[in-house]
Chains A and B, each alone.
Chain A
């Protein structure tokens, strides 16, 4: 029987008869793909000055595209970013997998039971005293707070234990009172709370009287500009995004690009806003980079206690410059309390045939101890 030559195996190419080798492979569903940050943006090159030609407006788009990561996701910037907060993201920030390298390197002392003189098992008497304090008294001292005490307070270069010698007995309450007095008298702390009265104009239905101005006191707020300034100079602002971009998934099979919508700074709204802002004329004499502070407001009634009726109506400000994965963490500190709206209650007391009386009363609910309560009566003239 004639066979095509290609299909006939010769003695050289035939496999040596032995036990079949099997490739051991973990089933696909068991492979755990850990999240990965987008490839970092290389340090921005300094912009070269372009000679200005009169009456010609040149809009230069320094389009920038990162390489794809393990998930075939890349970032497309319409303008080269000056700052990339995602460069600081470590794998530990994205997943809570056990850090095997760190745990295995921890050396456990073998003789735990042996009793040795005081600094043991610590390196110095200072550490010994501190650890004695941590493990005694109130059990409300958390490890992170103790770390903070050591790293931020005791290790501060201008911290001197001798400063406490002059005072007979240290008193936290007395020091707090000093701080309160300083805050109340200082004009420098601008992002503090302000209190104002909201004037509501209510039509009385009377042509001669016009409107009745009803004042609601106890509207507490922080000036928005100061909130923005405080947020942008905060340590968390290291993670702020200033340059919007498109996140794109490139299919490894077809090479087709698919847009991913995930953050406010990858949205069209921001991209368009940024484009409009760059096209707008600069402030006279200002060559600073123009960026957007993305304000996200949120407000709803909030119960302050599990029992009772203590209630507040806060206004929170979040910044879309921050990734939602950071922003949504309850302990991230990304939420800026901006205002407390006073709630107003309308009570209709009675409706007479010749005149009707409408009474308004209000309470600033967030103050449980000294709640205001006033009422105003508006006499409506007979119809």
Chain B
């Protein structure tokens, strides 16, 4: 499970987490978006 998360939180995501990513939003304005994890509710595969 943690190994799977290692693949999800890849180098690209970590870079975006620290430096943000520039996205043209739906209103046409460019913003620097920082991903921020607020909640993670999950049931882990145990066996």
Contact = CB atoms under 8 A, between A and B. Distances in A.
Nearest to A343: B45
A261 interface: no
A125 interface: no
Interface in B1-42: 1, 3-4, 7-10, 12-13, 16, 19-27, 29-42
B35 A196 contact: no
Contacts of B23: 228-229, 232-233
Top 5 A-B pairs ranked by shortest CB distance?
Answer: A237-B26, A299-B42, A297-B40, A300-B43, A238-B26
A26 B34 CA distance: 51
A191 to B, nearest CB: 12
B39 A198 contact: no
A29 B28 CA distance: 46
A264 interface: yes
Nearest to A230: B23
A293 B13 CA distance: 12
Given A228-B21, A273-B36, A301-B43, 14 more contacts: A198-B3, A233-B25, A277-B34, A283-B19, A291-B32, A291-B33, A292-B36, A293-B33, A295-B38, A299-B41, A315-B8, A339-B8, A342-B4, A346-B47
Contacts of A346: 47
**Dominant secondary structure of chain A at its interface with chain B:** mixed
Interface stretch (A59-67, A162-170, A218-226): A218-226
Interface residues of A, number: 54
A88 to B, nearest CB: 10
Nearest to B32: A288
Contacts of B29: 82-83, 289
